[in-house]
Amino acid sequence: MTFNLLISHHPDATIAACHGDTSSFFDGKAEEIVGKTLSELNLLFYNKDQQKLADGELPVQHIAASKKPLPATDLAITRKKGENPCWVRVTGYPELDENGNVTKIITSYTGTLGEPGQKPEIPREFEKDSNWEKTFNAIGDIITILSPDLKVVKANRATYTVFGLSEGELLGQYCYQVFFGGDEPCERCPVWQPERGTSPGTEIVYNERINKTFAVSSSPILNDQGELQYLVHTARDISQLIRDEEVRNILSAAVEQTSDSIIITDHYGNIQYINPFCSKITGFSREDVTGKSLDFLHEVDQIESSFQAIAGKLWKGESWQGRLTGRRKDGTTFEEDVTISPITEEDGSITNCIAVKRDISKEILLQQQLQQTMKMEAIGTLAGGIAHDFNNILAAMIGYAQLAKGRITDSDEANADIEEVILAGDRAADLVKQILTFSRQDKVGALYPTKIQILLKEIVKLLRSSFPATIEIRQKIDNSSAAILADPTQIHQVIMNLCANAKQAIGDTYGSITITLKNYTVGGSQFLQQNTKLTQGKYIHLSIGDTGIGMSEEMQAKVFDPFFTTKPKNQGTGLGLAVVHGIVEGHGGVIAIESAPQEGTTFHLLFPSIIEKVKDKNKSGETPPRGNEKIMVVDDEKALSSMIKAMLNGLGYTVEMYTDSLAAVANYRQRPQDFDVILTDMTMPNMTGTELAREALSLRPEIPVILMTGYSESIDEEKAAYIGLSSFLFKPIEKTELAKTIRKVLDHGIHSHS
CA distance 76 to 89: 9
What percent of the chain lies above the pLDDT cut of 90? Answer: 26
Q: Give the number of residues written for the chain.
A: 754
pLDDT band with cut points at 50, 70 and 90 for residue 715: low
Phi (first) and psi of residue 273, to 5 degrees: -155, 140
Average pLDDT of the chain, as a whole number? 81
SS3 content of the chain, % helix, strand, coil (to 5): 40, 30, 35
pLDDT in tens, 399-454: 888 888 878 887 787 888 888 888 777 767 766 665 555 544 444 456 778 899 98
**Can you tell me the distance from the alpha carbon of 85 to that of 114, in angstroms, rounded to the nearest whole number?**
6
Tell me the pLDDT band of 658, cut-offs 50, 70 and 90: very high
User: Residue 274 — φ and ψ, nearest 5°?
Assistant: -130, 145
pLDDT surpassing 60 at residue 644? yes
Given a cut of 80, whether residue 91 has pLDDT beyond it is no
Give pLDDT tens digits for 167-209: 667 877 888 888 888 888 777 677 655 444 444 567 888 888 8
Provide the pairing of β-strand 212-222 with 228-237. antiparallel
Per-residue pLDDT tens digits for 112-162:
544 444 443 433 444 444 577 788 888 889 999 888 888 888 889 899 899
**Structural contact between residues 512 and 546, judged by C-beta atoms closer than 8 angstroms:** yes
**For the segment 269-301, what is each residue's pLDDT rounded down to a tens digit?**
899 999 999 999 999 999 999 999 888 888 766
Task: Read off the pTM.
Answer: 0.43
pLDDT given at position 490:
83
Confidence of residue 72 (pLDDT cuts 50, 70, 90): low
Measured distance CA(104)–CA(605) in Å, rounded: 82
Contact 541, 605 (CB under 8 A): yes
pLDDT for the residue numbered 430: 65
Which strands make up the sheet holding 705-709, listed edge to edge? Answer: 654-658, 630-634, 677-681, 705-709, 727-730, 752-753
How large is the C-alpha radius of gyration of the chain? 49
Q: Looking at 491-535, which runs of residues are DSSP E strands?
A: 511-521
The pLDDT score that the predictor gives to residue 645 is 92
* Beta-bridge mates of residue 154: 145
| Contacts of the segment 636-644: beta carbons below 8 A, 24+ positions apart | 636/660, 636/661, 636/681, 636/684, 636/685, 637/392, 637/396, 637/681, 639/396, 640/392, 640/395, 640/396, 640/399, 640/681, 643/395, 643/396, 643/399, 643/400, 643/403, 644/399, 644/679, 644/733, 644/738
φ, ψ (nearest 5 deg) of residue 133:
-65, -40
Write down the pLDDT at residue 90.
Answer: 83
Spatial separation of the C-alpha atoms in residues 13 and 52, rounded to whole Å: 19
